[in-house]
Structure 1
Amino acid sequence: MQRLEHLRQMVAYNTWMNARLYEAAQTLPDSEISVERGAFFGSILGTLNHLAVADLIWLGRYTGHPAGFAALQALDSLPRPSRLNQPLAADIRELADLRTRLDACLEALAQEIREEHLDQPLSYRNTQGAEARKNFFALLMHLFNHQTHHRGQATTLLMQAGVDMGVTDLLALIPNHP
């Protein structure tokens, strides 16, 4: 599998899982979504909020790529968080709207990226202000790995609240080979 194919598969998985995750979360009352459950970001809402915050931060960093991706202009109308737990929405419905917009931005970005963009280094500052310069493809894969990590936490929190997510594996989207 080529890297662009892999990137686009990860974007498709991301969109699919986020849609399912938010659908499952919205079956619960707001009070259940916001209840402290001892997770790193507290609640189901806190965990989903953190994922949106992290995606906004990383997508904002990607605007520094020399290719100047047009897809990232969608960020102009979105919040610019400065903390990893910064609240972005009043409730799950508002956060779901933001999630849909972020996923659309990622889908557009994946279509715009070309193979030659992947090996270019990206310079950025982390949330503490430390400078970094890293391979762009590796940073894209980090975004998806981070999402998978915290979605796993969110599915555990949903299970604790009585909501079964069912299949969550990327394997569900990998077609059978002839």
Structure 2
Amino acid sequence: MMIEPGYVRMMARYNAWQNRQLSDALDGVPLEVLRADHGAFFGSILGTLNHILWADRLWMSRFAPDLQAPPEGGIVTSTELCPTFAVWGAERFAMDGMIARWAKGLHAVDLAGALRFHSRSLGREARSPMAQCVIHMFNHQTHHRGQVHAMLTKSKIGAPVSDLFLMPEETE
């Protein structure tokens, strides 16, 4: 399995676009609403957003350890990463910038071969194709943002458009 650096850059743009839209949609929503348990896998809107950010930090610590240290805690406590939406927004903006910078510097050879890492969920060392791990990071984001979209809809908060083909063109 091989992916191109252009795919990674497109997905980094998509990730940042989706997070900007979520940030805009959730701006001003009371913290009680963001922390309300909706019965989703990670419970709340903020909990799910925190989990995505935590996982992005984890994957980026594997892909670019010089840019990102592994996050504290594990999957269970990942929902508590940022205590407020404002903190999440600032941390998310920084992470999206990091992912974009990393993607911009990728070459095809960087996506070849295997990635060796410690899997917290397995509790042991793991080895997977680098391309598959990169695809997984972006798929994981999209999967859990879909859960956030459902929680927004349930809460009667306008859920942003998420169709990839509707992503605005790059302006740079």
Same fold (TM over 0.5): yes
Q: Which amino acid aligns with 2:59?
A: W
- State the Cα distance separating 1:46 from its structure 2 match: 0.5
Aligned-pair distance for 1:50?
Answer: 0.5
Deviation at 1:12, TM superposition (A): 0.5
Residue in structure 1 matched with residue 144 of structure 2 by the alignment: 150
Unpaired runs of at least 5, structure 2 = none
Matches within 5 A, 1:45-124: 45-63=46-64, 73-76=66-69, 80-86=71-77, 87-124=80-117
CA distance, structure 2, for counterparts of residue 11 and residue 172 of structure 1: 15
Q: Give, in whole Å, the separation in 2 of the partners of 1:5 and 1:174.
A: 16
4+ aligned runs moved over 3 Å, structure 1: none
For 1:75, what is the secondary structure of its paired residue? coil
CA separation of 1:80/1:27 partners in 2, compared to 1, >3 Å: closer, same or farther? Answer: same
- AA in 2 matched with 1:154: V
Match of 2:157 in 1: 163
Structure 1 length-normalised TM: 0.85
Q: Is the CA contact (8 Å cut-off) linking 1:122 and 1:133 kept in structure 2? A: yes
How many Å apart are 1:21 and its aligned residue?
A: 1.0
Q: Does 1:138 align with 2:132?
A: yes
* Corresponding letter in the other structure for 2:56: D
CA contact (8 A) 1:57 1:81 kept: no
Tell me by how many angstroms 1:111 deviates.
0.9
Amino acid at match of 2:76: N
- Counterpart of 2:123? 129
Cα root mean square deviation, aligned: 1.7
How far did residue 129 of structure 1 move?
2.2
Deviation at 1:135, TM superposition (A): 1.3
